[in-house]
Structure 1
């Protein structure tokens, strides 16, 4: 009960505050969009830049940590893609988008603050290692698969497909922030204290603004239809992904306590809003993914409590 009250509930209360503000007309759609644009395009890239720029790269990138987390992620994708395609007879493009919802967990807006509240800021090294390759790798995978599904038989050249994927990935502010962070980290470029102070101010605003805005965004979604498909995505995100990650981390790679916590807590998060945005980008499975994001986010209050109880 202490874990629920002290760790999980403050995060979801901020989300609920944003949801209620939008629900009762205290925060307009345009205001919600503005907050999310500020968070995703400016504040969160600053947070990621600072974290990657100061990250101990030699200690953070544990192959067992990454293989455990992403082994779980791609297990979630396989379950949702194959289930959508062969169990629910969805078109191939729908199946890719639904698979992406099972793949793309909310590592940044939920995984980061919950891990920090549960285990302290010093426990976040593994989180940032996961996050640093999360969007680039998973978007590259999802976009490549979707473009293949959309253009089968149309003769799209590999070079044209590669250009589309690279352009889509490196137009994302989060990826830009991560990339610049790596440049500063690897080059050892000295930056003035005033610059870091400004980055710190932006970074401290990132998570609260993003969580509040996420509540407003979730209000727009309505859980409609396709209940079995939505349930499959929720199971993949909240049970299969963290479950496979835990098994690999404990039984195969023997992860240390901090690495196991970062991997499993991050894996246990609901699908990120990016799962809906990906579906919206291609105009497929939008209702399913939007509903899955909303329902899984609500269910993750309980499922996260369970995983926190299991972890050392």
Structure 2
């Protein structure tokens, strides 16, 4: 267990450092959007580009991986919507479903799972990120927009959500890396150096930024009375989601789907990650209850250090 904590603890410590920097006012709140832009538009795309270049495209787009993750995501989204729709309304129920399904696979998952499991974890983890960006997020945002009386219908809501997904630089960096992988070519020397430097900065800056974003979200969350709902959705994210991924994966394997034990381990651990830190920003953009979503992200991140590390120890990867 100590060897596992030796890997996971520094990742969560960087998140805590970012939170502390915000809380102690060492990092001005006005600087947080700039950090986020650097990570989202420069450092993480560079890291994904390099990983995709080194990963066979068959691993990035493995049908068994896609089927397992999409199936479990559909179950979680459907269950959270059914449980919260009447009480919270369709918009807030849709964002609750998104925060219960979308792990922090970009800022935290890719570097953490690769550090724990080795380079073979990159393919399934990147596939998970692509599904959540293009499918899960787009569907939940479209449902939220459809539930808005001022909206323009489900079709337009889905089109707007897909447009936002297409504007995300992470999938495009992955796609470019896949092209290089298929072509069997690399980047020119100076370009490769720049990309490598950016990629090396991705993990520490991304995790520090997650902490700062969580602090800012906490400042705006207020003191609502929906902690029971927050705790329930957090439990879905940290425990129900990975259990569904693991269970569905075993069913698929029994049915003859070629999902390997290593892939299922990566998917299960990805599902056990805390909620994505960008979901409160999306909720705020679409005028949902961003405070509720921020509390779920903060609680899931605080608890995931223990729950995720315990799951790694139980699965015994490596």
So what's the TM-score if we normalise by structure 2?
A: 0.88
Corresponding residue for 2:268? 264
Partners of 2:141 and 2:20 in 1: CA distance: 34
When the two chains are superposed, the root-mean-square deviation of aligned CA atoms in Å is: 2.3
Q: 1:291 to 1:183 in 2, by over 3 A?
A: same
Cα deviation, residue 216, structure 1: 1.0
Higher relative contact order (CA 8 A, sep 6+): 1
Q: 1:122 to 1:100 in 2, by over 3 A?
A: closer
For residue 127 of structure 1, the aligned residue among 105, 125, 128 is 125
So what's the TM-score if we normalise by structure 1?
A: 0.89
CA contact (8 A) 2:269 2:311 kept: yes
For residue 161 of structure 2, the aligned residue among 165, 178, 181 is 165
Corresponding residue for 1:285? 289
What secondary structure does 1:253 align onto? helix
The farther-off stretch of 257-266 and 245-254 is 245-254
Unpaired runs of 5+ residues, structure 2, are none
Partners of 1:240 and 1:74 in 2: CA distance: 13
Corresponding residue for 1:275? 279
What secondary structure does 2:88 align onto? coil
What secondary structure does 1:270 align onto? coil
Aligned residues: 308
Corresponding residue for 1:41? 41
CA contact (8 A) 1:72 1:240 kept: no
Corresponding residue for 1:14? 14
Partners of 1:168 and 1:94 in 2: CA distance: 19
Q: Does 1:226 align with 2:221?
A: no
For residue 106 of structure 1, the aligned residue among 95, 99, 104 is 104
CA contact (8 A) 2:15 2:207 kept: yes
Partners of 2:314 and 2:68 in 1: CA distance: 17
Q: Does 1:245 align with 2:245?
A: yes
Q: 1:166 to 1:122 in 2, by over 3 A?
A: closer
Q: Does 1:200 align with 2:216?
A: no
What secondary structure does 2:217 align onto? coil
Cα deviation, residue 71, structure 1: 2.3
